[in-house]
Amino acid sequence: MNRSASQDSQIRELLNVLEEEATLFASFLSALEEQKVKIVEGDVPGLERVTHELQEKLTSSRILERKRRDLSSRLAESAGMREDVNVTRLLDLVNAADGAALSKMRDTILDLNKRIEESRARNGVLVEKSRQIVRETLKIMSHASAPITNGSTYERDAGVNENSKERPALAMDRRV
């Protein structure tokens, strides 16, 4: 296949961008694992730090994605391709060695992306479970100091006097 020096340069640059993306995705996955640990440990300062780190990585990922799309479009344009271009379509434009490298990078990135999505979903479930536990704990604590009025502790509606409309006192103020 006859390629111009410009195309060769763009292919090399695309491979470099894909490598950067793969490295970034691997570090994103590691940060998600660290986030899971911080959630389980209840380490709020650590969780804030990791969340900030993830946001920075996400910004970097968007920059690399724009760069990759731009390079892919320029490569496709120089080869006369008009339709949407992705790494798979670009495999038709490159020699066997570059094709193998592109294919390997694509597979690595797709695998990392799948693992990132799974980890994000797991962490989301952990956060939701934590919220439920906090809600239930607050609910339990709000009824913990209920006064006993005209009845026994073992009554069905213990702590509420049906005749006086008394409500149990809150064990803690939730307006924090």
* Concatenated DSSP letters of 54-89: HHHHHHHHHHHHHHHHHHHHHHHHHTT--S---HHH
Residue 108 confidence (pLDDT):
95
Residue 117 in contact with residue 29, Cβ under 8 Å?
A: no
Residue 74 confidence (pLDDT):
86
Helix (H) / strand (E) containing 113: helix 96-144
- Name which of 171, 152, 169, 149 is nearest 160 in CA terms: 149
DSSP state of 146: P
Residue 150 confidence (pLDDT):
55
pLDDT averaged over consecutive 10-residue blocks of the chain (176 residues)? 72 92 96 95 93 96 94 83 74 81 92 96 92 86 63 52 51 52
Residue 97 confidence (pLDDT):
84
Could you please report the per-residue DSSP string of 7-65? HHHHHHHHHHHHHHHHHHHHHHHHHHHHHHHHHHHT-HHHHHHHHHHHHHHHHHHHHHH
Residues 6 or more apart from 108 whose CB is under 8 A from it? 22
Residue 174 confidence (pLDDT):
53
